[in-house]
């Protein structure tokens, strides 16, 4: 075995055995949030109770996406502004904080890819490809670390404006799901 394949074998071993438990924990947390969203939403929102299954599922997914956006963007901002290893060396720094940020993102995108597979009919190929693309990008950042730790923090913050859509969706969709009908005179 040459040194190149030995290096990749080590990285894949690390991905499975070192990162694996943290990836599983992150995925379980996002799954728990998704599962908790429906009962909580039923209690606090009359609109939610009146939605068909597909829209309830989309609502619950967007709750998880919004919480992920808040957590991951806060973590990345903190990493860029306050994490001493990242501030000291943008290229070669290893940061436990950046590592945790990447693990959190990977766990979310594992959850997202599984949801896209389970509900492929509702989400379609585009959402599945997006979830898988993001998942493999962040998994690659774990395998190629540390040179990419600083860059991942920047990338996460660049996608922050797009994540605000998840926050607005239940408000926007509320008008589409209104039970009142317009009457003409």
In a domain, 181, yes or no: no
Q: Would 185 be classed as within a structural domain? A: no
Please check whether residue 183 lies inside any domain of the structure.
Answer: no
Residue-level pLDDT at 79: 83
- Give the pLDDT of residue 181: 36
Q: Name the stretches of the chain with pLDDT < 70.
A: 1-17, 143-151, 157-185
d(CA 50, CA 136): 37
82 falls within a domain: yes
- The CB-based long-range contact list for 92-98 (8 Å cut-off, 24+ gap) reads 92/146, 92/147, 93/146, 93/149, 93/150, 94/145, 94/146, 94/149, 95/146, 95/149, 98/149, 98/150, 98/152, 98/153
* Domains identified in the chain, total number: 1
Is 27 a domain residue?
A: yes
pLDDT, tens digit, 9 for 90 and up, residues 16-45: 667 788 889 999 999 999 999 999 999 998
Where in the sequence is the domain holding 75, given as residue range(s)? 3-176
Q: pLDDT tens, 80-89? A: 888 888 788 8
Q: Tell me whether residue 47 is in a domain.
A: yes
pLDDT of amino acid 10: 67
Would 31 be classed as within a structural domain? yes
pLDDT of 149 reads: 66
**For residue 78, is the peptide bond before it cis, meaning its omega torsion is within 30 degrees of 0?**
no
The span from the CA of 89 to the CA of 120, in Å, is 42
Residue 182 maps to a domain: no
Q: What is the pLDDT of residue 175?
A: 46
């Amino acid at each position: 075995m040459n040194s190149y394949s030995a290096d990749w074998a080590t990285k894949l071993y690390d991905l499975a055995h070192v990162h694996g438990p943290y990836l599983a924990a992150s995925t379980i947390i996002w799954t728990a949030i998704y599962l908790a969203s429906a009962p909580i939403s039923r209690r606090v929102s009359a609109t939610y109770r009146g939605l068909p299954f597909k829209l309830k599922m989309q609502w619950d997914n967007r709750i998880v996406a919004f919480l992920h956006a808040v957590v991951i963007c806060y973590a990345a901002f903190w990493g860029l502004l306050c994490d001493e290893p990242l501030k000291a060396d943008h290229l070669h720094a290893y940061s436990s904080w950046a590592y945790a940020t990447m693990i959190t993102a990977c766990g979310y995108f594992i959850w997202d890819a599984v949801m896209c597979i389970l509900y492929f009919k509702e989400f379609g190929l585009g959402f599945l490809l997006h979830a898988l693309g993001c998942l493999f990008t962040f998994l690659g950042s774990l395998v190629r670390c540390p040179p990419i730790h600083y860059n991942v923090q920047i990338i996460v913050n660049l996608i922050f404006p797009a994540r605000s859509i998840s926050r607005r969706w239940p408000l926007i969709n509320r008008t589409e799901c209104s039970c009142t009908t317009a009457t003409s005179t």
